[in-house]
């Protein structure tokens, strides 16, 4: 169900870290990455509850787990990631138990009876703002499933944000993955002057969830953007991740805009319709440059988005970049802890009797191959992210045997570094050509 990763040479979980850490602090950071899983989002929510319960529970005067500083998610995992951040910043005086917690309240009523009502008149659409920083609420269309089932979810989260007491100086960075319903063309200039048009469809939305005091002296939860150009510096892949910001006023994002993006990330094709929302991009036509919903250095756009797990179902690399950003501009160092939830990562898979395989040309065989390919596609970035951010590249060789395990590790590390150089030289725009 879950897997833990630590940056190379990292320490064990530091349960002494009991205070909220500011963005920019060099203290040990702890990240939770939540995969998409369609209906398994409810299953993951139970693990979410247990993890956060451990951050609130002391044993021998120490918290069992330290506070979560970064959380990323895709698809159903995006809903749980936002809920994780909100719950983390909620005051510990608010009751939190197995039968009363944010995750149970979100998922308890999301079942087939509500998603697929027997009577058409029971279909009730939800309304949200978020096309710009100033627009009114608008109806979100349904597809096969009825999003009215999420009305109570949105109401619950908004009530917590608007009325519940929050913890002072709480900062949690959240990353949501979304996929454009229609790909956008990008012209790349290669190192030798060649140009090529490529499709880009997968986008990453960074959000800071933080608390501040209102006019009545009460601590409340707020949302804000992150500087995209600064965040790009912490992407170790040399192939830029497509970061976008949600629309904002003085960097603060409205609750409705966060909900639109979260629901878009969980808009599994066919089951749910795409969701349109406004966003701020680093690139775009000059006609989009000036808009009050975006800062002057970004372009305002609108687009339809679908399931964020389509290309990156376990965004652990995005989490690593957010952790790096939070480390006051320093690179990842020892002591950074990552937990990622993946329902497909079964510890003991069920034994299945061998079955006669159908012909790969038969309809059944073709469907099977398609489904396997789709599953691999949804985890496209996981291998690269783990390889780049979490594989120990400094393992020393202890003998001169060219066939030893150590020698093979050293050779692998040299190949990895060479691969990075090739990527950088091949895919980065030519500086002479701007």
What's the pLDDT score for residue 333?
A: 59
Inform me whether the pLDDT recorded for 322 exceeds 60: yes
Q: What percent of the chain has pLDDT over 70?
A: 67
Torsion of CA 348, 353, 354, 359, to 10 degrees: -100
Q: Taking a C-beta distance cutoff of 8 angstroms, is the pair 93, 47 a contact?
A: no
Phi, psi of 2 (to 5 degrees): -135, 165
Sorting pLDDT into bands at 50, 70 and 90, what band is 19? Answer: very low
Q: Taking a C-beta distance cutoff of 8 angstroms, is the pair 276, 246 a contact?
A: no
What's the pLDDT score for residue 283?
A: 81
For residues 268 and 40, give the distance between their C-alpha atoms in angstroms, rounded to a whole number.
Answer: 13
Inform me whether the pLDDT recorded for 299 exceeds 70: yes
Judged by average pLDDT, the poorest of 51-60, 113-122, 251-260 is: 113-122
Q: What is the Cα gyration radius of the chain?
A: 22
Residue 339: CA atoms inside 13 Å, Cβ hemisphere, count?
20
Inform me whether the pLDDT recorded for 198 exceeds 50: yes
For residues 416 and 394, give the distance between their C-alpha atoms in angstroms, rounded to a whole number.
Answer: 12
Q: Read off the pTM.
A: 0.79
């Amino acid at each position: 169900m879950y897997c833990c990763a630590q940056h190379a040479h990292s320490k064990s979980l530091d349960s002494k870290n009991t205070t909220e850490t500011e963005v920019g602090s060099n203290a040990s950071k702890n990240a939770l990455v939540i995969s998409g899983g369609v209906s398994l989002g409810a299953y993951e929510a139970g693990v979410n509850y247990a993890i956060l319960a451990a951050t609130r529970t002391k044993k021998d005067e120490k918290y069992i787990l330290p506070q979560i500083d970064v959380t990323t998610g895709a698809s159903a995992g995006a809903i749980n990631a936002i809920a994780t951040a909100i719950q983390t910043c909620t005051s510990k005086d608010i009751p939190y138990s197995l039968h009363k917690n944010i995750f149970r309240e979100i998922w308890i009523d999301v079942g087939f009876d509500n998603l697929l009502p027997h009577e058409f008149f029971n279909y009730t659409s939800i309304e949200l703002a978020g096309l710009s920083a100033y627009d009114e609420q608008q109806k979100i269309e349904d597809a096969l499933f009825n999003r009215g089932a999420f009305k109570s979810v949105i109401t619950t989260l908004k009530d917590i944000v608007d009325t519940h007491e929050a913890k002072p100086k709480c900062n949690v960075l959240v990353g949501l993955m979304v996929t454009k319903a229609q790909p956008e063309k990008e012209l790349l200039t290669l190192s030798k002057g060649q140009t090529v048009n490529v499709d880009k469809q997968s986008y990453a939305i960074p959000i800071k969830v933080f608390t501040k005091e209102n006019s009545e002296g009460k601590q409340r939860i707020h949302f804000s953007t992150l500087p995209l150009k600064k965040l790009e510096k912490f992407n170790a892949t040399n192939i830029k991740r497509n970061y976008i910001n949600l629309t904002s006023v003085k960097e603060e994002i409205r609750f409705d805009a966060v909900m639109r993006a979260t629901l878009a990330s969980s808009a599994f094709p066919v089951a749910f319709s795409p969701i349109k929302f406004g966003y701020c991009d680093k690139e775009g036509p000059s006609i989009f440059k000036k808009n009050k919903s975006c800062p002057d250095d970004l372009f305002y756009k609108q687009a339809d988005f679908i399931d964020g797990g389509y290309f990156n179902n376990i965004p652990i690399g995005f989490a690593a970049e957010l952790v790096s950003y939070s480390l006051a501009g320093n690179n990842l160092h020892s002591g950074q802890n990552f937990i990622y939830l993946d329902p497909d990562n079964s510890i003991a898979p069920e034994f299945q009797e061998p079955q006669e395989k159908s012909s790969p040309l038969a309809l059944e065989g073709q469907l099977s191959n398609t489904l396997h390919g789709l599953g691999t596609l949804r985890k496209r970035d996981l291998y690269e992210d783990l390889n780049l951010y979490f594989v120990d590249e400094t393992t020393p060789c202890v003998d001169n045997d060219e066939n030893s395990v150590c020698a093979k590790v050293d050779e692998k590390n040299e190949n990895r570094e060479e691969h990075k150089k090739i990527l950088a030289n091949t895919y980065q725009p030519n500086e002479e050509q701007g």
